[in-house]
Amino acid sequence: MSKNLPSPLALERSHLLLTQIEAAKEFEQAEEITVNIQTVCGSHQDDPKLWRVELEVGFGKNGKLIEQPYFGKVRVELYLRVHPNFPEERIADLIKVNGVSLAYGMIRESVANLTGRGPHGVFLLPSISFIEQKKPSSSSKKPTSK
């Protein structure tokens, strides 16, 4: 039996900043769900172990073409505390992978909850890995839908 290790990252608080989800009347179902991701990460100027992550995920549209049963965007803000003993040179990578993953999970759950009461049923955003994310920036991911 393996021992669970505590995470070096603690979620202090989180907020939904923006929720815009619309049910499509007509759509042309794409094989892949395209998500547009924008991230902003930064540490507090007086406390380098306190970080803020803001993540916005847009989905369901490609230009004016509606490709999924729902389209819109959701933005969240998280405040994360890094364990005092965690090496400083590894904090930025921890935030960019684990912190952004926490934010994406929150958005994914919110979209599923809200669309579950919609006319097309539950819409699940695809699972995404942020391991290769090198710096906070805008990006577009195209994972394959299930």
pLDDT at 4: 75
Q: Residue 42: is its pLDDT beyond 70?
A: yes
Q: State whether CATH 3.30.930.10 applies to domain 9-123.
A: no
Q: Is the pLDDT of residue 57 over 70?
A: yes
pTM equals: 0.86
Report residue 28 as tokens.
């042309």
Statement: residue 75 has pLDDT above 50: yes
Confidence at 146, pLDDT banded by 50, 70, 90: very low
Cβ–Cβ under 8 Å, residues 90 and 19? no
